[in-house]
Amino acid sequence: MHLTARFSEALVFAASLHRHQIRKGPGGTPYLGHLLTVAGIVLEYGGTEDEAIAALLHDAVEDQGGPPTREAIRRIFGEHVAAIVDGCSDTDESPKPPWQFRKDRYIAHLRTATRSVVLVSCADKLANARSVLKDLREMGDTVWSIFHCTREQSLWYYREVVRALHETAVPESLLEELDRTVTEIEALSGVVTSR
């Protein structure tokens, strides 16, 4: 598959939306690095151009403008991309609902989400889990202080996402990689969730 000018346009659009956003954790990494990683994982696992574009934009509605951003994505990149982005967003509300409520709702949604949504979502969770694992190795348990939830809540969430994705059409090898990464985070954290 060859990427078209639409992907380049999405990259520029994502960069403009997230240009001032920095990743949690040490180093002050530009958020765009995460978006590129997620898009790369989607492409590695056979994603379409629309899915790769949605990967670049998967946090845009949630983090950069809510419904008006969703409408811009729909207008510029089409209904399919907008639907994938919607499916990967746990809220467009401001202020955001409580963390546990959002995560419970998102996990339930994953079980019935489209193949495109679960592909992008799994790629996003893998990219996040890899970052957590890297930071955990470098920082130890202090890594958990950068999140809006406890270590136990974070590990619960990752494990529940893995469980939910087992019920979907996500590529098996991608899910296995996420599962291995989460298992390693659990082992380094000394917290074992029941599998």
Task: Map out the domains of the chain as residue ranges.
Answer: 5-189
Please count the other Cβ atoms lying within 10 Å of the Cβ belonging to residue 192.
11
Let me know: does 30 contact 22? Beta carbons within 8 Å: yes
Euclidean distance between CA atoms 179 and 177, whole angstroms: 5
pLDDT at res. 24: 78
Residue ranges of the chain whose pLDDT lies below 70:
192-195
User: pLDDT digits over 117-152, tens only?
Assistant: 999 999 999 999 999 999 999 988 888 888 888 889
Q: Give the per-residue pLDDT at 124.
A: 97
Q: Are 54 and 10 in contact (CB under 8 A)?
A: no
Collapse the DSSP code of 111 into the 3-class scheme (helix H, G, I; strand E, B; otherwise coil) and give the result.
coil
Catalytic residue numbers read 62-63
| Chain mean pLDDT for the chain | 92
- The answer to whether the pTM exceeds 0.85 is yes
Give which of 190, 63, 34 is closest to 126, Cα–Cα.
34
Query: Torsion angle, CA of 97/108/82/126, rounded to 10 degrees?
Result: 90
Sign of CA dihedral 85, 90, 35, 42: negative
Neighbouring residues of 171: CB distance < 8 A, sequence distance ≥ 6: 45, 46, 119, 122
What is the CATH number assigned to the segment(s) 5-189?
1.10.3210.10
Looking at residue 192, what is its pLDDT? 66
Residues 88 and 58 sit within 8 Å (Cβ to Cβ): yes
Q: Residue 195: what pLDDT?
A: 53
